[in-house]
Amino acid sequence: MSKALVTGASYGIGADIARALARRGHDLVLAARSGETVDRLAAGLESEHGITVRTLHADLAAEADMERVAEAVCDADILVNNAGAGLGMSFERTAWTQEQRMLMLNVVAPARLLHAALPGMLLRGSGRILNVSSVAATGPVWQGTTYGASKSFGLALTESLAYSRRLRASPVALTALVLGHTTSRFHEAAGIAPSPPLLTLASEYVAERAVRAIHQRRPPVVCVPSLRYKLIAGLLQHLPRRLLTLPGLADDFTTVACGDVDPGAGMSASAGGDGEHGVLAAEARGHGERQL
């Protein structure tokens, strides 16, 4: 029986990906900061599907914890880099500690785990890696923030490796999941109103499409789990930047009033854990984080 490791697996997309993998009979390693939540999920999956589920209580923004997860992924058959974060404030208004944490979760940790998992997969001649990215990686959607740039790294890394001669000649496959607005506990935890229904996808639907994609004989390098977001991603990539940056077509965080924000403030304790793509703790002084 194969083993899959999922990061950010407490709830939301990470938990739904874990459920989709469990339904296919994979043993699981679930890594998340939210210990009680991920432990309950693990117990339920073991009972319902008769699989073995191990939990790792780890904060991927902390190097020691990241290395523990990297050690655990060395013999995994599937790696899902799901944990990530976004800051709903413009770059000049955030604290550098906040930016560092987001970059650790969105850039450093996924690259480190991929680096740990790939050699063993190539040696064994099998393996799947799913990197959760965002439609924000394809264009200037979150203007004035580093979020889109950080998610672009994961998309570019996936494509760079997947199209290499070494990987193309191997049964190992890498896929980037390009997300749009997805319903989950994110909005509740971050204190943000839900997205318009037309632009909203169900977390369970996204997870099932992603898991189905990586189980194909030749998984796609980029998986966009709906026609509407395939169109949006295509427009973001190919339309002139002048059109994309018109007011109202993208979130421009430099237009938001700064208010009483202390740029040196750190991040508060998590309002909902980091087990869902796009969620860190709530920002200092009540500024919620957002997912796209």
Annotation marks residue 147 as catalytic: yes
- H or E stretch covering 28: strand 27-32
Q: What HEC string does 149-208 produce?
A: HHHHHHHHHHHHHHCCHHHHCCCCEEEEEEECEEECCHHHHHCCCCCCHHHEEEHHHHHH
Percentages (nearest 5) of helix, strand, coil residues in the chain: 45, 15, 40
Question: DSSP string of 38-71?
Answer: HHHHHHHHHHHH---EEEEE--TTSHHHHHHHHH
Residues 6+ apart with CB under 8 A from 68: 56, 58
For 134, list phi and psi in degrees, rounded to 5: -155, 155
- Pairing status of strand 53-57 against strand 27-32: parallel
CB-based contact 9:275 (threshold 8 Å): yes
Query: Catalytic residue among 11, 147, 205, 229, which?
Result: 147
**Cα angle, residue 108 at apex, residues 68 and 42 outer, rounded to 5°:** 45
End-to-end Cα separation, the chain, in angstroms: 34
Which positions are annotated as active-site residues?
147
